C-alpha cells in the first residue's frame, strides 16, 4: 500500500516539536545552531 507524502510530513513535524519540547524541558538545548541544521536536513528528505 502506498502512503502519500502528506501524512509522513505531518508526523515528522509532530515528532520534531516533541523532541524540541523534551530537550527544552530537560534544559539540554545549547545555542540552537546545531538544532537548526539538523531540522533543515530532516526537511530535505
Q: What is the pLDDT of residue 21?
A: 92
CA distance 10 to 25: 23
Q: What is the pLDDT of residue 2?
A: 80
Cell of 10: 505531518
Length of the chain: 45
Three-state SS sequence of 10-42: HHHHHHHHHHHHHHHHHCCCCCCHHHHHHHHHH
Cell of 26: 530537560
Q: What is the pLDDT of residues 1-45, one digit of tens each?
A: 787 889 889 999 999 999 999 988 888 766 555 555 555 555 554
Amino acid at each position: 500500500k502506498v502512503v502519500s507524502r502528506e501524512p509522513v510530513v505531518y508526523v515528522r513535524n509532530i515528532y520534531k516539536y516533541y523532541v524540541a519540547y523534551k530537550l527544552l524541558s530537560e534544559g539540554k538545548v545549547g545555542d540552537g545552531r546545531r538544532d537548526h541544521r539538523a531540522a533543515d536536513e530532516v526537511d530535505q528528505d
